[in-house]
Amino acid sequence: MKKCILSAAVLSVTTALSTAAYADYSLTILHLNDLHSRIESINKYDSTCDAESEGEGKCFGGIARIKTKLDERRSTLNEEGKNVLTLDAGDQFQGSLFYTTYKGDAAVEFMNAMDFDAMAVGNHEFDDGPAGLANFLEKAEFPVLSGNIDVNGEPLLKGKVPGVLIVEKGGEKIGIISALAEDTVDTSSPGEGVRFIQGEDYLKGAVEALEAAGVNKIIALTHMGLPRDKEIAAAVPGIDIIVGGHSHTLLSNTQDGAEGPYPVIVKNPDGVDVPIVQAYAYGKFLGEVDVTWDDDGNVIKAEGEPILLDASVTPDEDVSRRVAELGAPIEELKTKVIASSDAVIDGDRNTCRSGACSMGTLVADAMLDRVKDQGALIAIQNGGGLRASIDEGEVTMGEVLTVLPFQNTLATFELKGSDVIAALENGVSQIEEGAGRFPQVAGLKFTFDASKPAGERISDVMVKEGEEFSPLDLDKTYLVVSNNYMRGGGDGYKIFETNGMNAYDFGPDLADVVAEFLAAHNGYTPYTDDRITAK
């Protein structure tokens, strides 16, 4: 198998490649997206699985299972004479203590071991700035692509991020083009030297250059999310299939909870069907799609199904051993002292699910502080997401992880004032039952009356703008920060899912946000105030 990395500009003047074709040429694409540093296996909540659950067969994914299944499928397909391409649609970075500890080094080590043909740059690959991505690229033994980012103004990345890759499989040239979400400047830290180009504009030029060079089989490997992938498919002629990521979308013909079939089909400007695939996130599934082209380079079939990496897949022994080695210092990290507290930070479930608690105040304050520069005014955290208290004195990372064990990420979105009221009504609707939906808030004050019927309990809602609180405007749009579980409708917050606008659900890990806030306020004094009042 040969690989050739070329820019679109180079392709436009490259001698035309051989167009010798084979009737009904088929290619099987094995693909991942949005692993988010889930090096270890995960539980049904997508957080790290413990040894007991692993022994009970309740875990999914983990890099050792991915290695087993990739090797198994690649070997079987090769024995059958099939052509195989392995792709990763980005976001290897961010989401577990493996990333906190090793940044991209663990990710690139395991990616190298799995022999991927190509990876797209995800927005979180910029979470440690251009330097973090540059370090990853230096160690990667596979091409890492992104065509709609201009890195010429960033010395650490200049010349290191191609937009187009040509691979040869079974005597055929396959063109791979890539694009990254244009709002990465808002969701990560690409730096001032990285400029983003509209995805459609770049991809149109890249397709034309490939076609001019004689390549008639073109795959778009994107990190833009399913909605944008659909827009691109509808706007850019010449793309044969899109392998995507970013939106963590499960597409499947068999799995419960799938958001669409695998593949999703969208017609391009010429009326040609374009298949789009994505395989959820966190290594729970390995996507597998078989694509067939006719002699003229037209896709005549695309079918497949993501493979669930459950307990039936035996983790690779060598990889498991290496994961354990890398995991040893992480256990040490859990004992790392990050700050101190002047008193107990109360996270008792009975307190945090019925009114203001000092843990809720801490977490909501930390959330709002992290995104205030984006213009966020309101933070809402579910009391049920707070799982422990923290004792007076030294605070360890392990304690923070015990309070916030779910690996939730920050989610920001715009919400009308009237919908903020609806969210708060949901939050206090099951207070009698001690439900986890009770809202811990920052930047906001409200009063609730549990003696009234659910849906009529909230009053006197005030929002802090500048240094003063003013009444919530029902018609005004506010930028809200919450966690991705709630943003997805968890704990009854369906209004976040249905009415949230311009949402971004994949921010930094909430535990990291709180740990960094505590470190910045070392000698933290727990408190509650008048932000939540019970009548």
Q: Which residues contact 468 (CB under 8 A, 6 or more apart)?
A: none
CB 526 within 8 A of CB 358: yes
pLDDT value at position 145? 98
- Using CB atoms within 10 A of its CB, is residue 192 exposed (0-12), middle (13-18) or buried (19+)? exposed
The CATH topology of domain 2-19+26-328 is: Purple Acid Phosphatase; chain A, domain 2 (3.60.21)
> What does the alpha-carbon distance between residue 23 and residue 285 come to, in Å, rounded to a whole number?
31
Location of structure tokens 């180009």: 197
Q: How far is CA 207 from the centre of its chain?
A: 27
For the chain, residues classed under CATH 3.60.21.10 are 2-19+26-328
Residue 276 sits at φ, ψ, to 5 deg, of -130, 130
**Cα–Cα distance between 226 and 245 in angstroms, integer?**
7
Exposed / middle / buried, residue 497 (Cβ in 10 Å: 0-12, 13-18, 19+) = middle
pLDDT of the chain, 535 residues: tens digit per residue: 434 444 333 332 222 223 333 468 999 999 999 999 999 998 887 878 888 889 999 999 999 999 999 999 999 999 999 999 999 999 999 878 898 889 999 999 999 999 999 999 999 899 899 999 999 999 999 999 999 999 999 999 999 999 999 999 999 999 999 999 998 887 788 999 999 999 999 999 999 999 999 999 999 999 999 999 999 999 999 999 999 999 889 999 999 989 999 999 999 999 999 999 999 999 999 999 999 999 999 999 999 999 999 999 999 999 999 999 999 988 888 788 999 999 999 998 889 999 999 999 999 999 999 999 999 999 999 998 998 889 899 999 988 987 897 778 999 999 999 999 999 999 999 999 888 999 999 999 999 999 999 999 999 999 999 999 999 999 999 999 999 989 988 889 999 999 999 999 888 999 999 999 999 999 999 999 999 999 9
- State whether residue 216 is helix, strand or coil: coil
Given this structure, which CATH class describes domain 335-534? alpha beta
* Angstrom distance (rounded) from CA 534 to CA 446: 9
CATH 3.90.780.10 domain locations along the chain = 335-534
pLDDT of residue 505: 85
Tell me how many degrees the CA angle 356-358-360 measures, rounded to the nearest 5.
65
Q: Which of 411, 380, 383 is nearest to 508 (CA)?
A: 411
Q: Is the peptide bond before 130 cis (omega within 30 degrees of 0)?
A: no
pTM of the model: 0.75
**C-alpha pair distances (Å), 324 with each of 39, 62, 71, 114, 498:** 10, 12, 21, 18, 41
Residue 10 confidence (pLDDT): 32
- Provide the 10 A C-beta neighbour count for residue 104: 26
In whole angstroms, give the CA distance from residue 304 to residue 288. 6
Nearest by Cα to 65 from 327, 407, 248, 311: 311
The predicted structure's pLDDT at residue 23? 64
| Residue reference for tokens 């005597």 | 171
In 3-state terms the chain splits into helix, strand, coil percentages (rounded to 5) of: 30, 25, 40
